[in-house]
Each structure stands twice: as C-alpha cells, then as structure tokens.
Structure 1
C-alpha cells in the first residue's frame, strides 16, 4: 500500500531537474549544515527535511559529497574585489579572504568535501572540475600581470595558480588558516617576486 506521506513529497520530472524540488533540497541541506554541522549531514536527513524522495536526490547528486559541494557553491559569495593592476595585492587579497571565509562553517564543509572525494569517485570528479575552474581564475590574474609586464613572459600561469591554490588548500587541511598581520602580503610577495623577470 502506498505511503500517504508520499503525496506530500515534492516530485521530480524524470531526469530533468524540477527547480522547486532542487531548491528545497539545497535549502534543506544548507539548514542542516548551519544548525547541526557536517556530521549530521546525510542524504536521508536532507530527504526528510526537504520532503523529497531519496531516489530523486540520488538521481541528481550521486553521493553525499556531490551534494555537499553544490551547497558549498551556493553558500560561497563572490570574492571581495575585482581585477587590479597589482598581482601581489590580488593574491594577498585572495589569501586573506579565503583564510577568513574558511575559518567559519564553510571551511568545515569544504574539508568534508575533500574527505569524501578520497573514497567517492563522483565527488572526486566534481571536486577536480571545481579545482580546475578556480585554478583558471587565478591563472587569469597571472595572465593579466604578464600582459602588464609584471611577470616574465616565460611563466606558466596555471602552474603559478596551482602554487597559490596548493598553499591555501594545504593550510585549510592542516588547520593553519589564522594569519598573522601582514602574513598574506608576505606570502604573495614571495610567490610573485619569484616570477618576476
């Protein structure tokens, strides 16, 4: 016999996402993370709170980690500043911003995503795609600096970007996000001046 509660559940439309259901799932997941933390986050808990079927969630997010990553994207605001004509300043600003942002609940969530990616191929694939996108963003900073003559034209922008990304991700994973005054500027200077002609 069908469960009457099923009538109240939000329904998907096949493989195509229903925007209302998707929004309900993401809101439910975000609320669980904010109220109870990553340890309480599960597909079952999200399904109950969103009044959505687990099969619907698994159709769109094949694992806990992939759903966590989408909620992390949803929470993450844009960086605080746009392009400037100072690569050191841009990198220092990025390091300061991420260090501060990751000291809150967002850092816990992103650490969970990285942990899930170690055992979940779907999460690993999506995390790699996200990391590639973020590297490209930092690489564009370096490309602009190259165009200004601020760094040597022999520099590989994506390799330089990976150096920046690796440093801040390492600090996240080793719980070393708190910065001393002027530390972000010192890090940026050491990274950038090694690239200068």
Structure 2
C-alpha cells in the first residue's frame, strides 16, 4: 500500500517561481492521466515539464505530495451561491464539473478512480483535497432547498453520487469515443432526472 503522509516540502532559499510551479503541476496531471500511479514519478514529470529533477525535490517531499498539489491546482474553485432553486444550483455545479472533466484533468480523475482499489490512501488524500468541497456545496444546496420546501426534510438520497457519478461515467465513455462529452442541455436533463427521483416532479424549476 502506498504511503501518502508526506507533506509538500518546504523550500529554503530562492522564492517560489509561479511559472515553474504551474508547468510542473500541469505536467504532473498529464503524466498521471497517461500512465497512472504505477508510471508516475519525478523523472517522468521533470522530463515533461522541461526541468531538472532537483527542482521537484526542492518543492515536494514525494510523488504523492506532487500529485495532490496538481489535483488541487487544476481543479476549478467552487463558490457557494444561492441561485434560488435546487435545480439551478445543481445545474451550475454539474456544468462546472462536466467542463473540468474534459482533457487531462478529467482523464486524471478517471485514473484516480481506477487506482483507488490498489492505492486507497492515495485516493483518500486527493479526494479530501478536491472532492469534499463539492460535496459540501451540494449539501448546502440541499439544505437551502429543504428550507424553501423544495424537497422533504427526510430526503436522504445521495445527490452527489447520483449527479456526479453519472457525469463521471459520461466523461469516461467520452474518453473511449463511446459518447460525447456532456454539454449544458445534458446536465440539465440529468439534473431533472435526479430531481424527479427525489419526488419534485418535472414541473419544479
């Protein structure tokens, strides 16, 4: 089992170069998306980023810390905003997620799911940094919906799993050419299906 307890290494000396850091983190996501955890290491990332390995060793304690930082950096920030209805808030979150899942960031997320069985600690570490915020926003939207009377107080269905699980599967299929990436109308349709499952009915907006 892979150890994931090492923190990002603290640098002493020259100040951090944002450009170098950004290049390395993008290279890290690209490398992980292509090779998975078994092929992910400082050598591969340094080569892709066009930097020497010492630049990575000075900044990150190990490859786990590097990958966690890469996921954090390349996952768009999420903002909690009351849009007046659960549907609108879920559509906004869903569209943001579907957009993020395109390209290397999405492929890296799919790789992480595949690696979760063999490296559960790695999966837990990354998820704690990038997934819990999304789950928290969904829960806040649900709480506002309860306060507005949109859904029952005893509704316990896992909206996060229903919505983002389906969007993740759509993204995985798109990577194989078996489906198109989800666009806003697809997200809206999926949200409506989820809300009907919660008993809201198709007429609720």
Query: TM-score of the superposition, structure 2-length normalised?
Result: 0.67
Deviations 1:156-184 (Å, cap 9, x if unpaired)? 27x22332232222223333452367222
Tell which deviates more after alignment, 18-27 or 146-155.
18-27
2:161 paired with 1:179: no
Indicate the residue corresponding to 2:155 in structure 1: 155
Q: CA RMSD in A?
A: 3.7
Q: 2: CA distance between counterparts of 1:177 and 1:126? A: 30
Does 1 or 2 have the higher relative contact order (CA < 8 Å, sep 6+)?
A: 2
What is the deviation of 1:21?
A: 8.5
Structure 2, unaligned stretches of length 5 or more?
1-6, 201-205
Question: Which residue, 34, 52, 56 being the options, matches 2:54?
Answer: 52
Q: Deviations over 1:106-134 (max 9, x none)?
A: 21222233233332233122134243442
Q: Which moved more, 1:45-54 or 1:100-109?
A: 45-54
Contact 1:102 1:177 in 2 (8 A): no
**What TM-score does the superposition give when structure 1 sets the normalisation length?**
0.69
Matches within 5 A, 1:1-197: 17-18=10-11, 20=16, 27-31=23-27, 33=29, 38-39=34-35, 42-47=41-46, 49=51, 51-52=53-54, 59=61, 61=62, 63=64, 67-79=66-78, 82-129=81-128, 130-156=130-156, 159-175=158-174, 176=179, 178-179=181-182, 182-196=185-199
CA distance in 2, matches of 1:184, 1:107: 16
Distance in 2 (alpha carbons) for counterparts of 1:192 and 1:31: 39
Which segments of structure 1 move beyond 6 Å, counting only runs of 4 or more?
none
Residue ranges of structure 1 left out of the alignment (5+ in a row): 1-13
Structure (1/2) with the larger helix percentage: 1
